Each structure stands twice: as C-alpha cells, then as structure tokens.
Structure 1
Amino acid sequence: MLGKSKKSAAGLTFISPGTRLCGDTHFEGEALVGGELQGNIHGQSKVTIEQGGVIDGILSCRELKVSGLFKGKLKCDKLIVAGGGTVDGEVSCNSMEIFEGGQFIGVRTRDSAPSVDESDAVNSSPLTPHLAAD
C-alpha cells in the first residue's frame, strides 16, 4: 500500500530571456528569471534574477539573488546582490549581501527591529544635558 504524501514536489520554474509575464504570479519551488516579470510575485523558496533578467513589482520570497535588475518592493529573509546586479526600491529583509559590482539604490528596513519612540530617543540621548531641578 502506498502512503499519501503531502510533501510538494515543486520543481524549478524558468522564465527564459525574451519572455515577458505580467500579473499575479506564484512559485511553489525555486524560480529562475532570465526574462521580464511584472506584477505581484510570491515565491515560497528562492528566486534568482539572471543577468539580463528583470523583476518589476512587489515580490515576497524566502531568498532573492539578483544578477539582473529588481525594481519595486521586496520582502524576503535574505537578499544577495551579485556583481552586475541592481536592486532599486524598498527592501525589507533580515540579511543582505552586496558583492563587488552590485548596486543597491533605495531603502532597507528590518521587520524584526524594535521601533523607537522619537521622544524617548531625544530624552535618553547621551548628548542631551540633564538639568537637576532644585
């Protein structure tokens, strides 16, 4: 008797150079982008943008490696910008690596970082003199 497995056997999705896809896209397995992808993209694993490849839109994935161009909003655990790669936009990630020749243009935030109340930061600044009231 064969046992039932809920484990997904998602393979690699390849978007070849010369291919352009627009709209909402979902990848269960790894994705390799050599063409152009625009829209809302959700990857459950690693997404790689090859040299000459472009993603323009809102992307969420576990890991993004960029050798081409990413433009838009990104939420991931790990971002790797390889030599020749460009990331232009708003990035929320826990770790980021930028190799020689890679470019990051934009803003990076970390969701796990605690927010600081501006008034607390001013009042607790080591440069702010504290005057004792008599």
Structure 2
Amino acid sequence: MSIVGKMHIDGIFEGNISSLDSITIGKAGHVKGLIKARSIDVCGLLEGEVICDEIHVEAGGKVHATVESVELSISPRGCFIGERRIKENVKNLPDKGAAESVQAGKSGVDAIDSLPDKVVSDRKV
C-alpha cells in the first residue's frame, strides 16, 4: 500500500506500507511487514522491517523489528526488540541531486528530501 498522507491503524495489517508522511499504530493496532514513512508512532505492535526518519515507541507500544532511522525514541514503558541502524539524514548531505538519489536506489521520502532548494540555469533562451 502506498499513500501520500497520514495513516492511523487500529486493526491488523499485514503487508508493505509506504507513506510520504506519518504512520500511527494505535493501541489496538498490529502491523506486520515492511514499513516506510517519514515518521512512525507506535502505541500497539509493529513487527518486521522499518525505514523512516523518526520513530517513537509510546508507553505500551512494542516494536519487534529491524529499524533504519535518523531518530529513535522509546518511552520508559515502551518495548523495542530488534536491531537499529542509523540512517543518514539526507537533508544534511552536501549537494546531492535527484538523479544521483534515483541512481543510488533512493525513492519516496529520500528522493524528495534530496532535491535542491533552488535550481539556477546559466542557459539563455
């Protein structure tokens, strides 16, 4: 499933989710699969593989996954079991163009973040 906006899950979902925004897994939520999003908040159960900029495990939330993220925060009553790899913050990389990002296999959030703020051309028309 690919979405552009925010998503809240309060049921059982098995499969892959890709979002350019945030995903929230409610207290009754159970997600199993590959999850890609800008940010993820977990109050229920998340199992599988996660690629995101930031993930927060709330009190009562459980993550059993391999997580690749820029930021990870866990409430004192949250649970994280798995492996965490630190993801490079694409915004802080020097002058990396969109073409290079696509060639490097980046898509979605990473490709959008790697676009320059301003494009200037010397070409006269």
Q: TM-score by structure 2 length? A: 0.69
Could you tell me which residue of structure 2 aligns to residue 94 of structure 1? 70
Matches within 5 A, 1:105-124: 105-112=81-88
- With CA pairs under 8 Å and 6+ residues apart, which has the higher RCO, 1 or 2? 2
Q: CA RMSD in A?
A: 1.2
Alignment match, 2:46: 70
State which of 36, 44, 57 in structure 2 corresponds to 1:81. 57
Correspondence for 1:52 among 19, 28, 32 = 28
Query: Quick one: distance in 2 between partners of 1:86 and 1:27?
Result: 24
Query: What per-residue deviation string (whole Å, max 9, x for no partner) do you get for residues 76-128 of structure 1?
Result: 00000000000001000000110121000000001329xxxxxxxxxxxxxxx
Q: Does the 8 Å CA contact 2:20/2:38 hold for their aligned counterparts? A: yes
Q: Distance in 2 between matches of 1:83 and 1:111?
A: 24
How many Å separate the matches in 1 of 2:88 and 2:6?
Answer: 25
Q: Given residue 89 of structure 1, which amino acid in structure 2 is its aligned partner?
A: A
TM-score (norm. length: structure 1):
0.64
Within the candidate set 15, 18, 23, 1:42 is matched to 18
Percent identity over paired residues: 30
For residue 67 of structure 2, what is the amino acid of its counterpart? V
Q: Does the alignment pair 1:30 with 2:21?
A: no
CA contact (8 A) 2:14 2:32 kept: yes
Q: Deviations over 1:56-76 (max 9, x none)?
A: 000000000000000000000
Residue of structure 2 equivalent to 1:126: none
Give me the whole-angstrom Cα distance separating, in 1, the residues matched to 2:65 and 2:22.
Answer: 19
Aligned residue for 1:61, secondary structure, equals strand
Unaligned regions of 5+ residues in structure 1, if any? 1-24, 114-134
